[in-house]
Structure 1
Amino acid sequence: MTIAGMNHFTVLTDDVAKTVRFYGDVLDLVAGERPNFDFPGAWLYAEGRAILHIVGGRAREALKPGVIDHIAFSARGLAATLARLAAHNVEHICRQQVGSGVWQVFFFDPNGARVELDFAADESADA
């Protein structure tokens, strides 16, 4: 067996529409085709791939904490992303790794999932 990469992440929510809107507004993910499951949800796409599955009908209070700390996406357009986060009033932390120079942006989605965006070291945080 060979692992070829990550296929998708799943976010559990009690508000599918709000979660889809957040990832659409903030990360430009687009809702697309999804199998006809017997529970509410959505699949969000980037560059033609369903990378984020939203599963609805689960109240946050009923969820037990797991071992996953955060979900991370490779991204492009650091300055525009920072402007978009500010425009949507999303609190975030932006830092540049010592050594590699990779830019990391951290924030939380409406369900409390911690999201990391990684940008190339040669990008600029200035608009």
Structure 2
Amino acid sequence: MLDHVTLRTADLEGTRAFFETVLDLKPGYRPAFGFPGYWLYAGKEPIVHLIPGHAGPVDRHGETIDHAGFRLADYQGHRRKLDALGIPYTTMDLPELGERRLFLHTPTGILLELVFREGENFGGA
């Protein structure tokens, strides 16, 4: 089981706000480290840690983590939310797995994959 993901970002506040708005994560307790950052919680678990980083091009060919994936519920509701917020995304349906996916980027370009297990119910676009 993956415990958490730590993301470096040049826009700490903007990235925090993005995760709060898009994924409903909430900032919570974080030990008093000697550098700024946030621990963002899903319920009682701090699943996303944000720390300062430097802006630079994303190189998807080098050895790096390519993206972070989150399992969520309510595919259509998340599409409506992203549309209302004007956040661009792409879709991928994997009916053989009973899954639908949305791909989007944080304000600083980190790729996120939102995974929805819909089972056999693929009604609606």
Normalising by structure 1, we get a TM-score of 0.86
Between 84-93 and 95-104, report the one with greater CA deviation: 95-104
Distance 1:89 1:126 in 2: 20
Q: Which runs of 5 or more structure 2 residues have no equivalent in the other structure? A: none
Q: Which runs of 5 or more structure 1 residues have no equivalent in the other structure? A: none
Moved over 3 A (4+): 62-66, 122-127
Q: Is the contact made by 1:70 and 1:113 (CA closer than 8 Å) also made in structure 2?
A: yes
Q: What are the superposed Cα offsets for residues 28-81 of structure 1, whole Å, 9 maximum, x if unpaired?
A: 00011101111111000002100000002x221398864211100111111111
Please tell me whether residue 82 in structure 1 is matched to residue 79 in structure 2: yes
- Look up the match of 2:49: 53
Q: How many residues align?
A: 122
Q: Is the contact made by 1:100 and 1:121 (CA closer than 8 Å) also made in structure 2?
A: no
The counterpart of 2:94, out of the listed 87, 93, 97, is 97
Q: Is the contact made by 1:82 and 1:125 (CA closer than 8 Å) also made in structure 2?
A: no
- Look up the match of 1:118: 115
Q: Is the contact made by 2:58 and 2:109 (CA closer than 8 Å) also made in structure 1?
A: no
When the two chains are superposed, the root-mean-square deviation of aligned CA atoms in Å is 2.1
